[in-house]
Structures are given as structure tokens and as C-alpha cells.
Amino acid sequence: MKDSQSNMFEHSEVKVRLLNLYIQKYLNILSRAQGIEKVNLYDLFCGEGIYENGGEGSPIIFLKAIREIYYRNQAGKHKIIQVDCVFNDLETWKTEKVKSIVESKKLHYPIFGDLRFRNVDYTDAVPLVVDQISKSKKSKAFVFIDPYGYKDIRASQIKSILETKKAEVLLFLPTHHMFRFEKKGRPKAFMSFIEDLIPEKHWPNSPTGIVFIENLKSAFREYLGDEYFVETFIITRDVNQFFCLFFFTSHIYGFDKMLEAKWEIDSEEGRGWSYKIPDAPNLFSPTKADKVNKLESFFLSFLKEPRSNGEIYQATLHQGFRPTHAVEVLKGLASQNKIIVTSNDGQKIRKGSYYINYSEYCDRPKLISIQLT
């Protein structure tokens, strides 16, 4: 077994931290959502739960989040939703270890929801998950895929989960190793992965590991189409070693919340996390001005024609930024008299208000229009 599978390294801890931040937001939102009575959580490569060095893996993160939201809602007299968990791993000893940890630490009670353990090959597990999600009524699902490699991972599997319109997927890929294989011979496992996503002849050259991740994100977006959102969280384990979490959803609010979790971890750029090597340059430490300028550059092109507040909200998220960043940039452009804000319903617009958030996107997506002067 690889040391990274038996011991939690710092980059793995950050991966689990993002999962923890998001799943807490996810459960909190759904516990207050009308029409949702149950959440299904799937961990398709659950591992052994706790690493040899004491680091907590994804099953423990899931169960602690479920327990916390249950007792918080109970104390606040909020709606209690059932959260069903499926922990899957091909190796029985791993799920047995998770099971013993759950029992010894009293991490789960039947009042929280169902807890099931499976030992099914990943390629067989995906269609079972899709079938269960499709049949489950008044429910949402979250699927975490943290494979031992990538040879069995296919874009078509991700798409089949998303097509239920009730699920979100968080996928970890060892992109550093994939990038090396792109440069050295392109073995069968690599080509099978790429060709399920894009014809080999259309796969672009990747001069760096970061560019490889960007190419992969673009390919996922092209493959899935505009109705789905795709975002990445880059984890730098060492100099020039980039691994990546890919998040997929069809729901814009879920996408907004994942971006919120990303920016909590990386407040400077929201792109990823970098191991701090002494005296080494940090790729993910731009100034605040650099961050704003990146979104500003996009707006200086995007706003050449009138755009509604709803369109700006959606476009901002697609660029990997949060609504607060959009407001920050728009205020800057307004102070330079570079934009015109027009009310579409004849009502007076409050100065500095741009109505760029999920609530306005749902209720009043065409309240105002903004364009360059």
C-alpha cells in the first residue's frame, strides 16, 4: 500500500478540509429547503476511515457533519432531514475498519438515517448509485469519488450521475501523474480516460501541470455542456506537483456554495492550496489587486453589451469568482464612470446596489442592466 493511502499527508488534509466545509454548507442548506426530505451521501472509495497517523478520512468527515447538523436542527427546532450514507470500497477490510471506528466512537445512530457498507467495484457501483438516486423521491445526493489512481474513472460516469438532476459530484484526480503520462508515452489508462472525454486528436498540448488541469476542466465543460457547472480546486503537494479536485453540479446555488468553500481556504484567489515551502515562490499568492483585475478584465469584455444582474451572477460564478467579488469590481468601475446601470422596471436603483446574488437570480434576474459607457 502506498504511504499516502495509509498516512494522511498535509495535501490530503486540505482535500478533506474542502470536503468538510462544503458538506456542512450542503447539509445546512438542504435541511432548510422546501420539498427535500432526504439526502443521500455516497463515498465510492471510502478507504479505512482513519489513517495510521490519526488523520480523519472522508467517512468520518461525513458522519461528524451529519451528527452536527442533526443536533443543531434539533436544538433550533428546525426541520430534521434524513441523511443516508453509503460507504463503498472494494476491499472488505477497509469498510470493516470504518464500521468498527463508527461503533467505537459512536459516530452514528439510526435517527440520523441509514448507514450502509458496500464492497462493489467502482465501475459496477456507479450505475447502482444512479439508479438509487433516480428512484429516491424528495431527495438530493452528493457523490464523493477519491480513487486509488484513475484508470477506472470516466467522464461518462460523472455525466450519468449529473443527469439525474439531483446530484453533485466531487472527484479527486492525481493530475500530476496524468500530466507526466501525457508527456511520456500516453499509456492505455491515460488514453482511455481522455478518449471518453474528447477525441485524442483534439487534446491540446499542456506545457505545465497547471495548464493540464485547465485543459481538463475545459474538456469537462465542453463534454457536459452549458447546463452543468464545473470547477476545480488545485492542491500543490510539492514544487510543480499539482493534484486537483473537480466539482460538478447542475444547480447554480450548489456551485455558489462550493466557490464559497474554496475562497474560505484560499482567500487570495480561490483556486487552490499550496504547500508552503520555505523560501520558495508561492504560485497562489497574488495580491488582492491581481484577483480583482482578473475579474475586471473579464467584465471589460463581457459588459460591452447590456447584461442583466442574473446574467452577471451566472457569468461571475463561471469565472470562479463569488458575487461579492463582482460587486467589488462593479463599484470600482462605477467610481471611474466606466459603467451605466439601468433599471428595467422603472424603479429607482439604490446607489452601489447591483442585485448579484442567488436570491435575486431566482426572483428578479432582469431587475437591472449594466453595460460599459
Average pLDDT over residues 27-31: 91
Cell 480523519 locates to 56
Predicted confidence (pLDDT) at residue 274 exceeds the cutoff of 70: no
Average pLDDT over the chain reads: 88
**pLDDT, position 317:** 94
Instruction: Answer whether 117's CB lies under 8 Å from 145's CB.
Output: no
Handedness of CA 198, 204, 210, 214 (dihedral sign): negative
Most confident by average pLDDT, 109-123, 172-186, 235-249: 109-123
Domains of the chain and any CATH numbers: 3-274 (3.40.50.150), 288-372 (1.10.10)
**pLDDT, position 286:** 42
Longest Cα–Cα distance in the chain: 66
Average pLDDT over residues 42-51: 94
Average pLDDT over residues 39-52: 94
Buried b (16+ CB within 10 A) or exposed e, 179-191: bebbeeeeeeebe
Predicted confidence (pLDDT) at residue 55 exceeds the cutoff of 60: yes
**3 state DSSP class of 341:** strand
**pLDDT, position 348:** 81
**Alpha carbon distances (Å) from 268 to 176, 247, 262, 275, 297:** 23, 20, 10, 15, 17
**Residue among 366, 362, 364, 360 at smallest CA distance from 306:** 366
**Residue among 196, 120, 134 at smallest CA distance from 167:** 134
> pLDDT band at 278, cuts 50/70/90?
very low
Predicted confidence (pLDDT) at residue 266 exceeds the cutoff of 80: no
Which residue did the predictor score with more confidence, 75 or 55? Answer: 75
What is the per-residue pLDDT across 162-178, written as a single tens digit (0 to 9) for each?
999 999 999 999 998 88
| Grid cell for residue 105 | 466512537
Which residue did the predictor score with more confidence, 108 or 53? Answer: 108
What is the per-residue pLDDT across 204-214, written as a single tens digit (0 to 9) for each?
888 888 999 99
Predicted confidence (pLDDT) at residue 261 exceeds the cutoff of 60: yes
For the chain, state the CA radius of gyration: 22
β partners of residue 171: 145, 246
**pLDDT, position 189:** 86
Task: Label residue 136 left, alpha or beta by phi (over 0 means left) and psi (-120 to 50 means alpha).
Answer: beta
What is the per-residue pLDDT across 100-158, written as a single tens digit (0 to 9) for each?
999 999 999 999 999 999 999 999 999 999 999 999 999 999 999 999 999 999 999 99
